[in-house]
Each structure stands twice: as structure tokens, then as C-alpha cells.
Amino acid sequence: MKQCFTVVMLVAMLLGSIGAASAREPHQVRAPSIAGVFDYYVLALSWSPTFCLTHQNDTQCSGKGYGFVLHGLWPQYAKGGWPKSCSPKVALTAAEREKGLTLFPTRKLLEHEWSKHGTCSGLGAMGYLEASDKAIGTVKIPAQLQPLSSSTYLEAEEIARLFRQSNPDIDSNGIAVICSGPQLSEVRVCMSKDLAFTECGKGVKTQCRAGEIRVPPVR
């Protein structure tokens, strides 16, 4: 009987400790993505020549001479992460597609960005495209980073500094430079929901190696 009582007590203590741990550490469930529910935008500007090094058959890589192109305008959470593919998922109309193709380099990219990111803006397709247009118009590309005829080499911080010189209102923590291996891939500029420059939230930061990186010439 004494042994049975001891076993019962041990089981009770174990169950109690499990219950206490569950109370202390509730299961984390990510909230569903809801259109319009986010904190700020990231305007992602892709350096097309780097993209074309590995996507030579893409439409934008057919000798059009692109430098920076619109990758997307991405709703973000200040604490990190982002909503994606929000309902309702509505296809672009012909008029919206026509507008989008004045902003994005390819139809494929336009469709992808609207489906994954634009639907979460809460603006509707045309509103999202107009916001993207305004965001692009707000950011001035530095003269040193206009389409290049030969490779140049700059440190990531120098690229960020050139953008801040051309756009004095960009916060010191409001821009991130992204690399693909040793090459410049993107510049990401953080903007408020009304498309003013703002600080970036958690997780948006420069991702490049130390030292100089290559900025490939146009194709």
C-alpha cells in the first residue's frame, strides 16, 4: 500500500508540473494575415543586372538596360514578419494589369507581388499600385547607381550612404542593402503607411558581406 501511495503521488506531481509548465508557456499561434493590418511598408528595389545573372531568360533580361526595378511594396509588422496572401484574393483586372506593367518589369512579378503582398495592403489592387507608384516616385536613385556600363565596387554602407545623401529624410535605420553572394541584389527602404520615410522594424537589416561588393553593369 505504501508503494502504491508513493507511485500515485509521483504521478500527481508529474502531472502538476506539466500543467504548470503549460500555464507558463502557452502555445504560440501566429495570427492570420488580415488585409490592412500591418505597421509599415518596405519598398524593395531590385538591382536588375544581378537578378539577370541567374535568370537570363526572364523578360526583364532581354537587353532593356534596367538598373533598379520595383521588386515590391511589402506590408510589414514592426515586431518582425509580415502578412501574406490576404483574403479576399481577387485577380487583377485588365486596367489594373496595364497600370501594374508601368511599374513592375514583368507580368509574372506583378501577379506574384499583388497576390502575396498587395492583397495585404487593404487598398485594393488599384490603390496598391498607386501606392507603389507614389513610393517609387518618393525615392531618388543616386546618380552613382543609375544603370552602369561597367562593374563598380562599393561597400554596403557606402550604398546606403549614397541613398541617404539623395534622400536626406531616410532614417539611419530606415534602409537595408541586400546582397546575392558578392553582388548587390536589392536596396530596401522603409516607409510609413502614408509613404513617408520611417525606421525599419525588427528583422529588416543589411545582409551583405564585409568589404566591397560588386554592382554589375546593365545587360
Known catalytic residues are 71, 113, 117
User: Which of 205, 212, 189, 208 shows the shortest CA–CA distance to 74?
Assistant: 189
Tabulate helix, strand, coil % of the chain (nearest 5).
35, 20, 45
Cell of 197: 520615410
Helix, strand, or coil here: 5?
helix
Contacts of 92 by beta carbon, 8 Å cutoff, 6+ apart: 100, 110, 111, 114, 125
Residue 96 to residues 111, 125, 173, Cα–Cα distance (Å): 10, 7, 33
- Exposed e or buried b for every residue in 15-38, given b needs 16+ CB within 10 A? eeeeeeeeeeeeeeeeeebebeeb
Q: Are 183 and 214 in contact (CB under 8 A)?
A: yes
Question: Running DSSP on this structure, what letter comes out for residue 208?
Answer: -
**Grid cell digits, residue 182:** 558578392
